[in-house]
Amino acid sequence: MATRSKPSATKAAGRARATDAAGVVAKGAVSRTRRSVTRLSISSKNYSSWSLRGWLMVKLAGIDFEEERVAIDAPGARAELLLLAPSILVPCLVHKGIRMWDTLAIGEYLNEIAPEAKLLPTNPVHRAHCRSICGEMHSGFSALRASLPMNMRARLKGFKVWSKAQHDIERIETIWQECLQRYGGPWLFGRHRTLADAMFAPVASRFTTYGVALSPAAADYRDRVMAMPEMQTWIADALAEPDELDELDMEF
Ligand SMILES: N[C@@H](CCC(=O)N[C@@H](CS)C(=O)NCC(=O)O)C(=O)O
């Protein structure tokens, strides 16, 4: 099924609130005028790895959705975002009035409403494996997250990886290699892209940004993820985004 997402800005014509060129609702503003069946709130496409995971999951599910960009750092927007997601976190999915505000919950729900997309493997043993590595990504790799934040635009040469982050990188390489060997690729669980590919997609971006040295198999998988058409769309939007967070853009 073809997917289609509509940035909220496209529906904003005629509204009093300003949106910038990338379609981000102006700071302090969360649009309330649109109400499509499926709506996903996300923040920066350059920096927000959780937004990317949730967005990819909905794309892989093949569901039409409206994308709502929120500037979560603006005090006004935080108050309004609280109405959308009790955690004040993105991504938040609203489908037919049902709200989900955690990436794993979103993925599990999408698998229930779009089983034909095979977001989880049909074999229960493989499904357990898939859920395990999604969970590991969800709750782990804190050193990698802290020292190699997602930054789609940046390319850092000679970046020195901290030893704890190196352990995380090695564990991720092991996960990828085991999956690719066991299920035969090209995706982590074989021919179909699953929640696991969405969960690890921001890691592929981080490995690219920071020039992380990888084994040939892991490097191939990283490049495959980065070349996915959905990922290319996301990257193009990230490059067009005006927001800059100095602390994340610096070289360290
Ligand atoms: N466990 C959450 C994590 C979501 C999360 O941490 N989102 C970040 C953006 S990447 C966020 O919304 N942060 C809000 C803030 O920084 O104010 C999930 O799975 O969705």
Residue 194 Cβ contacting ligand 1 at under 6 Å: no
The answer to whether residues 13 and 83 belong to one domain is yes
| Nearest CA residue ID for atom 1, ligand 1 | 102
113: left (phi over 0), alpha (psi -120 to 50) or beta: alpha
CATH at residue 148: 1.20.1050.10
CATH at residue 69: 3.40.30.10
Residue 103 Cβ contacting ligand 1 at under 6 Å: yes
The answer to whether residues 45 and 141 belong to one domain is no
pLDDT of the chain, 252 residues: tens digit per residue: 333 444 443 333 333 333 333 333 333 334 444 568 999 999 999 999 999 999 999 999 999 999 999 876 666 666 666 677 777 789 999 999 999 999 999 999 999 999 999 999 999 999 999 999 999 999 999 999 999 999 999 999 999 999 999 999 999 999 999 999 999 999 999 999 999 999 999 999 999 999 999 999 999 999 999 999 999 999 999 999 986 665 454 432
Residue 196 Cβ contacting ligand 1 at under 6 Å: no
H-type helices in 9-152, by residue range? 49-61, 75-84, 103-113, 124-139, 142-147
CA–centroid distance, 138 to ligand 1, in Å, is: 11
Give pLDDT tens digits for 239-250: 999 866 654 544
Residue 99, H or E segment: strand 98-100
In a domain, 245, yes or no: no
Helices 163-183, 124-139: axis angle to 10 degrees equals 170
The answer to whether residues 162 and 87 belong to one domain is no
CA 108 centroid distance within chain: 15
Strand pairing category for 92-95 and 38-42: antiparallel
In a domain, 246, yes or no: no
Tokens coding 21: 């060129």
From the list 234, 177, 207, the residue with the least C-alpha distance to 52 is: 234
Domain endpoint, select from 117, 138, 158: 117
Q: How many residues does the chain have?
A: 252
Number of Cβ within a 10 Å radius of residue 211: 13
Q: Which domain holds residue 214?
A: 124-240
Ligand 1 atom closest to the Cα of residue 43 is 9
In a domain, 249, yes or no: no
The answer to whether residues 112 and 161 belong to one domain is no
Contact 73, 48 (CB under 8 A): no
The answer to whether residues 26 and 112 belong to one domain is yes
Tokens coding 160: 């020195």
The answer to whether residues 61 and 107 belong to one domain is yes
* Number of domains into which the chain is organized: 2
Contact 212, 222 (CB under 8 A): no
The answer to whether residues 151 and 64 belong to one domain is no
The answer to whether residues 172 and 81 belong to one domain is no
Domain endpoint, select from 117, 139, 171: 117
Q: What is the pTM of this model?
A: 0.84
Q: What are residue 41's DSSP bridge partners?
A: 68, 92
The answer to whether residues 163 and 236 belong to one domain is yes
Q: Which of 27, 73, 89 best tests ligand 1's pocket when mutated (most atoms within 8 Å of CB)? A: 89
In a domain, 230, yes or no: yes
CA–centroid distance, 50 to ligand 1, in Å, is: 6
User: How many Cα atoms are found within 13 Å in the side-chain-facing hemisphere of 214?
Assistant: 25
Angle at 201 between CA 109 and CA 143, to 5 degrees: 105
Residue 72 Cβ contacting ligand 1 at under 6 Å: yes
Residue 46 Cβ contacting ligand 1 at under 6 Å: no
Domain endpoint, select from 93, 117, 141: 117
Residue 165's SS3 state is helix
Give pLDDT tens digits for 172-224: 999 999 999 999 999 999 999 999 999 999 999 999 999 999 999 999 999 99
* Torsion, Cα of 194, 196, 201, 207 (10° steps): -140
The answer to whether residues 158 and 183 belong to one domain is yes
The answer to whether residues 149 and 232 belong to one domain is yes
